[in-house]
Amino acid sequence: MAVKNVYAYKVNTPTLINNASSSYREEYVNNRFERFLREINNKTLSEKAKKFDGKLVWLEEVSDTEDSNFLTGTFKAGRYGEEQDIYDVEQLIHSGTKKKNDSVISEIVFVLCKRSGLFLLESDSHRIVTRTNIDKYLGKMQGIMEDFIADHNSLNPSSLIVDSMYYTIHTILTDDFFEKLNDLARIKEAKVFVDVESNEQNAAESHYRNMANEMGVDGYDQVAISLVNSKRGTGIRHIKKLFENLIQLEKYDRFQIEGYTHHSRHRTVHIGTQAKFFEVRYSKNPNGLPNRPQLISNMVKIAREDNPL
């Protein structure tokens, strides 16, 4: 039996409460998100396949489980844009060429809990079908829901769906970071780290990285950005909300808080940004591919018995 990681995310369908405060209500309304996926699924391949960042992605299928409590589905995806040599690994001889417009397509499965919005995603060894890229793909498909949004808003003027906030997909963290954060009476420094090689598109640190490069600085692999309180007896306030938002951006690789507990003890709290994950066992078919019905069945079992929400 092989083992794969399955990552856990939380889908929300925010509603704008149209009153004096005009605030968003974070909730999961399954009809909105499931309908969106089914509308995509009903499109032809040419309509639903999207290209971005050198990747080709589409939603291949969705279906109900037998009890109709969960929605299962498959994304297909591949990279393109580079001509590559293909070698026979046994004979070590050139066996072909992958052209720039060719793509090797892989399949990644997911499970959606209709009650809670839990979204379990099979890990993709090619790093194409990730939370970020699913978000990009769904964003490109969101226009198909314009009529649904208009009809909803005309019938529910006090609870509106905003186009840009039709859905959100949040990371469920593995750490008790925010529990530890609550133990701190005073926060003296809040720091975020960016890996300069794997996270080159982070605009917040690009200014410092570019300046360092222009000055010939090398030998570093991370940039850290800090908020510091240097006044004795005081601390940084309202940092929790900031960090919650930064974590969901998936633009930072590590977070660190330094401060003092209620007993005046110095403490440093760390957190990485890896999503909560489960290990799932599965068998492989003769071609080396996962037994997908078995994989989906085990993912549904996690959603039913170990739902972290």
| Domain extent listing, the chain | 2-172+275-305, 177-272
Give every CB contact of residue 219 below 8 A, 6+ residues apart in sequence: none
pLDDT, tens digit, 9 for 90 and up, residues 244-296: 777 766 667 778 888 888 888 888 877 766 678 899 999 998 888 899 999 99
Instruction: Work out the angle between the directed axes of helices 30-41 and 131-141 (0-180°, nearest 10).
Output: 80
Q: How far apart are CA 169 and CA 50, in angstroms?
A: 19
Percent with pLDDT over 90 in the chain: 56
* DSSP tag of 53: T
Residue 223 has pLDDT above 90, yes or no: no
Identify the DSSP state of 145: G
SS3 163: helix
Compute the mean pLDDT over every residue in the chain, rounded to the nearest whole number.
88
| Distances from the Cα of 75 to the Cα of 5, 9, 107, 191, angstroms | 16, 16, 6, 36
pLDDT top residue among 206 and 164: 164
Tokens standing for residue 154: 């005309």
Within 127-168, where are the H helices? Answer: 131-141, 146-155
pLDDT number for residue 236: 76
At residue 199, the 3 state secondary structure works out as: coil
- What pLDDT is stored for residue 99 in this prediction? 94
Query: Using DSSP, how many helices (H) and how many strands (E) does the chain show?
Result: 8, 17
Closest CA to 112 of 147, 138, 94: 138
Q: State the pTM of this model.
A: 0.76
Q: For residues 224 and 132, which has the higher predicted lDDT (pLDDT)?
A: 132
The predicted model gives 207-233 an average pLDDT of 79
